[in-house]
């Protein structure tokens, strides 16, 4: 396991097929973690000068390159996406807040909105993602037919792998220019090529390093289009670092993405994120090339499970067309939890969401890994 010798490459390590859930950390992140500790010990109070002058701009530059964003300073960092959801909601004054979303959002958004809905603080319209072939049309039509304060949808849906094909068209369908449009890109970032340049001035984009960016927890980010959410009510003192000096009647904010910052946080995740990006660049591993490699593994795996006639087969895929899915396979089966548990007993890690068994491959896999997994499933 070149590059992953301390995680899945060690003796006795599990066969890990859940890159979409918790991606193994590459070896370079160990040195990065030590460097974060060393800088903190060496620089003491001056650590933050280095963080804001070097570490954060480097991470912003990597993300801007990966997402084709025109201005790296539009990116704010935080420890998790839920904090950004709260900050975004705090910008909206309407009561109830009118929200358009789907029935398949991840819990960092869905749980919070459901709780606010119980108290009548939000009025939510949820568009079902299924049937997938008509989802984008139905969502665009709903977005255009009414006025909303917040439109929130995933780029790749966590429970199916369905990847929205025309993000720009959905954003363009929102009638009111004052509506906040937020795209949850966590399962798309570094999984599939993403070009936000056409909508960078109109939509927020929310993602992080826990999955395909291979940086672990704590490296979440929000791209903040200019002019939207100038003064979040949920605000920490870091959000004022870039504001103009001087007293005033109102709380001062920066005008770039840092207006969405919170307060003191552990920056070691950004050290890890930068180390992974530099490592990938040295190996000429682009998002497109990594996706192409994984697609080859997926095809081999699907052919093997069909030959094996075991617990799952390709006809159970929620999204059969690889052009319409992210970088994991979701199989619909009432046995999803049982299959994941049986594989765990054999030192194999996959995961499930309700009746969806999720299997994801990465650059750390070889053909022998997918064949082994397919045969284990055939033996079930």
Bridge partners of residue 325, in order along the sequence: 162
Q: Of 125, 97, 159, which is closest to residue 352 (Cα–Cα)?
A: 159
Instruction: Supply the pLDDT for residue 380.
Output: 61
Whether domain 29-280 has CATH 3.30.413.10: no
pLDDT in tens, 62-108: 999 999 999 999 999 999 999 999 999 999 999 999 999 999 999 99
Q: Quick one: average pLDDT of 196-209?
A: 98
- Where do we find the tokens 């429970």? 159
68: region left, alpha or beta (phi > 0 left; psi from -120 to 50 alpha): left
Token pair listed for 297: 């593994």
pLDDT in tens, 113-133: 999 999 999 999 999 999 999
CA R_g for the chain: 21
pLDDT in tens, 356-368: 999 999 999 999 9
Token pair listed for 55: 């570490």
User: Beta strand 329-332 with 220-223: parallel, antiparallel or unpaired?
Assistant: unpaired
pLDDT in tens, 278-315: 999 999 999 999 999 999 999 999 999 999 878 899 99
Confidence of residue 1 (pLDDT cuts 50, 70, 90): low
Q: What percent of the chain has pLDDT over 90?
A: 94
pLDDT for residue 379 is more than 90: no
Instruction: Supply the pLDDT for residue 26.
Output: 97
User: Beta strand 356-359 with 351-353: parallel, antiparallel or unpaired?
Assistant: antiparallel
Torsion of CA 242, 246, 247, 248, to 10 degrees: -60
The Cα–Cα gap between 143 and 210 comes to 30
- Domains 29-280 and 286-379 belong to one CATH topology: no
E-state strands within the chain: 15-16, 75-78, 97-102, 122-127, 150-154, 180-184, 203-207, 220-223, 329-332, 348-349, 351-353, 356-359
pLDDT for residue 246 is more than 60: no
- Per domain, the residue ranges of the chain are 29-280, 286-379
Least confident range from 61-70, 100-109, 161-170, 234-243: namely 234-243
Would you call 194 helix, strand, or coil by DSSP?
coil
Confidence of residue 242 (pLDDT cuts 50, 70, 90): confident
pLDDT in tens, 145-160: 999 999 999 999 999 9
Phi then psi for residue 309, to 5 deg, are: 55, 50
**Cβ count near 127 (within 10 Å):** 18
Instruction: Supply the pLDDT for residue 247.
Output: 53
Q: Quick one: average pLDDT of 185-213?
A: 98
Torsional sign, CA 98, 101, 102, 107:
negative
Q: Of 291, 339, 283, 287, which is closest to residue 311 (Cα–Cα)?
A: 339
- What does the chain come to in residues? 380
Q: What percent of the chain has pLDDT over 70?
A: 98
pLDDT in tens, 313-350: 999 999 999 999 999 999 999 999 999 999 999 999 99
pLDDT for residue 245 is more than 80: no
The Cα–Cα gap between 94 and 343 comes to 48
The Cα–Cα gap between 64 and 183 comes to 16
**Considering the domain 286-379, what is its CATH architecture?**
Alpha-Beta Complex (3.90)
Instruction: Supply the pLDDT for residue 153.
Output: 98
Instruction: State the chain's mean pLDDT as an integer.
Output: 96
């Amino acid at each position: 396991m070149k590059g992953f010798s301390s995680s899945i490459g060690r003796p006795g390590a599990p066969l890990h097929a859940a890159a979409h859930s918790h991606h193994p950390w590459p070896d370079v992140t160990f040195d990065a973690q030590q460097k974060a500790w060393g800088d903190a010990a060496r620089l003491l109070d001056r650590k933050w000068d280095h963080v804001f002058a070097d570490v954060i701009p480097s991470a912003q530059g990597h993300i801007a390159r990966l997402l084709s964003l025109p201005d790296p300073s539009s990116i704010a960092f935080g420890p998790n996406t839920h904090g950004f959801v709260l900050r975004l909601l705090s910008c909206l004054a309407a009561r109830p807040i009118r929200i358009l979303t789907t029935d398949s959002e991840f819990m960092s958004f869905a749980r919070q909105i459901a709780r606010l809905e119980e108290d009548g603080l939000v009025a939510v319209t949820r568009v079902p993602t299924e049937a997938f072939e008509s989802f984008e049309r139905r969502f665009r039509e709903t977005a255009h037919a009414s006025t909303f304060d917040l439109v929130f949808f995933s780029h790749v849906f966590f429970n199916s792998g369905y990847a929205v094909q025309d993000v720009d068209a959905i954003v363009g369908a929102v009638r009111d220019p004052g509506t906040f449009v937020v795209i949850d890109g966590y399962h798309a970032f570094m999984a599939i090529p993403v070009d936000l340049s056409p909508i960078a001035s109109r939509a927020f984009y929310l993602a992080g390093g826990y999955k395909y960016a291979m940086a672990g927890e704590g490296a979440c980010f929000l791209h903040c289009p200019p002019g939207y959410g100038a003064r979040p009510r949920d605000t920490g003192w870091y959000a004022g670092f870039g504001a103009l000096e001087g007293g005033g009647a109102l709380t001062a904010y920066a005008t770039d993405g840092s207006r969405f910052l919170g307060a003191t946080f552990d920056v070691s995740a950004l050290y890890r994120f930068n180390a992974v990006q530099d490592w990938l660049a040295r190996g000429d591993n682009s998002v497109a090339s990594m996706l192409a490699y994984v697609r080859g593994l997926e095809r081999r795996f699907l052919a093997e499970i069909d030959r094996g006639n075991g617990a799952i087969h390709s006809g159970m895929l929620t999204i059969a067309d690889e052009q319409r899915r992210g970088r994991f396979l979701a199989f619909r089966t009432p046995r999803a939890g049982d299959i994941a548990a049986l594989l765990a007993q054999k030192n194999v890690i996959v995961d499930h969401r309700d009746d969806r068994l999720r299997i994801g491959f990465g650059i750390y896999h070889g053909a022998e890994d997918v064949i082994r997994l397919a045969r284990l499933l055939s033996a079930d």
